[in-house]
Amino acid sequence: MILLVHMLFGAAIGSAIQNPILAIILALLGHYFLDIFPHIEYLDGVESSIEKLRNGGWPQSAANTVKVLIDFLLGALLIFIFSNSTPVIYACALVAIVPDGLTVIHSLFPKLGLAAHHHIHSKKIHYLTKQKNFPVSWKIATQVIAAVMSIIILITG
């Protein structure tokens, strides 16, 4: 899933759940829930960009870094536009992308102790959808549905 969808889903949880601590926990778990569904990632995968960075290839991974930054900023903008912009909504949006951040940190610094998370997130949860050949249209549709439902919750919440 791209960051924008995870952020919107986390923000929607923050908007719908009155207890901030529960909302933050559910926003984190929501990331793993969304990753169970077939979805697309950035065209040049994060692992590929990180490998290029490790090998001194910053220019080759710069395009992906820009895509991720634009994705993050667009997510924040949509949350600002469609929500009542309470701090818990933004906290949930940020917590919802933590698992992907941990994956990037693990890829850059494999000895840091995040191998268990990487195994669960990348090898177990994503494994469910990577082993089947889903059509790209289906992968895009799952993200569009999640994003639209999240925006509806933000608007009505």
pLDDT at 117: 83
Q: What residue ranges do the domains of the chain occupy? A: 3-156
By the 8 A CB rule, do 35 and 102 touch? Answer: no
Distances 40 to 1, 59, 62, 88 between C-alpha atoms, Å = 6, 23, 20, 28
Rounded to 10 degrees, what is the CA torsion of 43, 109, 74, 81? 140
- Of 121, 153, 131, nearest to 34 by C-alpha is 121
In whole angstroms, how large is the CA radius of gyration of the chain?
16
From residue 47, how far is each of 43, 87, 104, 114 by CA, in Å? 11, 32, 8, 15
pTM of the model: 0.88
Residue with tokens 């059509």: 135
Helix (H) or strand (E) holding 112: none
Per-residue pLDDT of the chain (157 residues), as tens digits, is: 789 999 999 999 999 999 999 999 999 999 999 998 888 876 545 555 556 555 656 666 677 788 889 999 999 999 999 999 999 999 999 999 999 889 888 877 888 888 888 778 777 776 666 667 888 898 899 999 999 999 999 999 7
If we measure between CA atoms, which residue out of 27, 22, 31, 2 comes closest to residue 12? 27
pLDDT of 47 reads 54
